[in-house]
Amino acid sequence: MTWDITGMGAVACNGTTPSEVFDALCAGRDGHGPLQVFDHEKYRARNAYEITDRALPGVDEPGRATRWLVDAIDQALADAGHPRDLTDVPVLVGTTLQEQRSAELWWRHGSALDPADLHFGTALREEYGAARTYTFANACAASLYALAMATDLIELGEADTVVVAGTDAIGESAFGTLDRVQNDVPDALRPFDRSHRGMLMGEGAVAVVLTRAAAPGRPVHARLRGVGVNCDAQHSTAPDPEGITRVLRDAYRLAGAAPEEIDLVMLHGSGTPKNDSTEATVLSRIFPPGSGPLMTAVKSMTGHTLGGSGLLSLTMAVLALQRGQVPPVLGLTDPIEEAEGLRLVRGHAATAPELTLAQVDAFGFGGINAAAILEAAR
């Protein structure tokens, strides 16, 4: 069984629509910059990949993650030609921090806060009449977990159409925690390069409309062939190569695809030495050195957008399949040893008109792993 992706929406630090983000990636434009509202003196890391949308420079605002979520869903519904009435359409949202930043602003600065607004379902009911909303906090794999749940709902006959989304705004407590637990101090996120020092957070939201079958005459962006998920629980933070291998094999099985059929891999590429080396090692065992699929990592330009990162990579994979173009891994000049046999796109975007199947990786803390397989709609 396959599922049709009929609508997409996204906002990130380097674009306000999927097309804008993809064009920026292909041009090598990132959203990296100095911290906009956090006190620079409190942290070793001084940069992030933030969205510049606050009304007053240097003054933070509550509700940004929800605002972007609504924006991304609006885009996806308009793109799919679907009405804004989601009374009978499930909405599944992947996130890591939800509206944690709003709670911080209430606690520290007395910003207005209605506890109901900490749950995305409140805004989704108000905006779309959505009665079936679900939030998944499966770390960095959250939005792909939500995507897997959407395929189950459709396959079981519980829905014909599902909206799947992901959103996160950077919270200061999360930023500070990451700043203290990373051994090195990254000034930028540089996946698979020997200069990588760790992960930096990004912001944004993404949404797709997934259907059993597109309505007659409606365009289809791509077809989802399968999503593999697991939780190996081998370590609280370190990735487990066996758990990642199992989830990839499961994704291939569900998609009815062999590894040698994959043309493009959207890497998790978090920029942390352990994650990069583990992902590269696993893929080097699966794909023949030097002749496997093209590979890229969008976090090199968007930062790590946390719960929505997997779905953001997926929408970028859709556009790569449509346009026959693959963005580079920004800043990759000296690949780590484990990645030397992989076909990492670097320097400038690659032209690849015959792309058919794409793999999307998302691996989170606690061994929460997910992988999706997409097929070009031709």
User: What is the count of structural domains for the chain?
Assistant: 2
Q: Is the pLDDT reported for residue 215 higher than 80?
A: no
Kindly state whether residue 61 falls inside one of the protein's structural domains: yes
Q: Which residues contact 140 (CB under 8 A, 6 or more apart)?
A: 96, 268, 270, 304, 306, 307, 309, 310, 362, 363, 364, 365, 368
- The answer on 260 and 185 residing in a single domain is no
Catalytic residue among 32, 82, 196, 304: 304
- The answer on 341 and 206 residing in a single domain is no
| Cβ atoms within 10 Å, residue 100 | 19
- The answer on 284 and 202 residing in a single domain is no
Q: Is the pLDDT reported for residue 213 higher than 90?
A: no
Q: Is the pLDDT reported for residue 174 higher than 90?
A: yes
Kindly state whether residue 308 falls inside one of the protein's structural domains: yes
Integer Cα distance of 9 and 31 in angstroms: 18
- The answer on 309 and 172 residing in a single domain is no
Last residue of a domain, one of 166, 183, 211: 211
- The answer on 123 and 19 residing in a single domain is yes
Give the residue-averaged pLDDT of 110-128: 96
Q: Please, are residues 257 and 225 in contact by the beta-carbon 8 Å criterion?
A: yes
> Does residue 32 carry a catalytic annotation?
no
Does residue 157 sit in helix, strand or coil? coil
Catalytic residue among 32, 82, 221, 268: 268
Last residue of a domain, one of 211, 245, 272: 211
Kindly state whether residue 339 falls inside one of the protein's structural domains: yes
Does residue 356 sit in helix, strand or coil? coil
Q: What share of the chain is helix, strand, coil (3-state, %, to 5)?
A: 35, 20, 40
Domain range enclosing 268: 223-376
pLDDT digit string, tens, across residues 285-330: 999 888 899 999 999 999 999 999 999 999 999 999 999 999 999 9
Output the domain CATH number for residue 127: 3.40.47.10
- The answer on 230 and 358 residing in a single domain is yes
> Does residue 304 carry a catalytic annotation?
yes
Last residue of a domain, one of 211, 238, 268: 211
Q: Is the pLDDT reported for residue 367 higher than 80?
A: yes
pLDDT at 258: 97
Kindly state whether residue 320 falls inside one of the protein's structural domains: yes
- The answer on 232 and 171 residing in a single domain is no
Apex CA 81: angle with CA 80 and CA 82, to 5°?
90
Kindly state whether residue 217 falls inside one of the protein's structural domains: no
- The answer on 122 and 55 residing in a single domain is yes
pLDDT confidence band for 237 (50 / 70 / 90):
confident
Catalytic residue among 140, 231, 235, 348: 140
- The answer on 156 and 190 residing in a single domain is yes
Q: Please, are residues 43 and 179 in contact by the beta-carbon 8 Å criterion?
A: yes
pTM tops 0.85: yes
Kindly state whether residue 134 falls inside one of the protein's structural domains: yes
- The answer on 125 and 34 residing in a single domain is yes
- The answer on 197 and 260 residing in a single domain is no
> Does residue 268 carry a catalytic annotation?
yes
pLDDT confidence band for 1 (50 / 70 / 90):
confident
Integer Cα distance of 47 and 41 in angstroms: 12
Q: Is the pLDDT reported for residue 378 higher than 90?
A: no
Backbone angles phi, psi at 206, to 5 degrees: -150, 150
Angle, in degrees to the nearest 10, between helices 172-181 and 100-109: 100
Q: Is the pLDDT reported for residue 273 higher than 90?
A: yes
Kindly state whether residue 66 falls inside one of the protein's structural domains: yes
Integer Cα distance of 277 and 194 in angstroms: 10
Kindly state whether residue 216 falls inside one of the protein's structural domains: no
Q: Which two tokens stand for residue 260?
A: 């040698």
- The answer on 276 and 330 residing in a single domain is yes
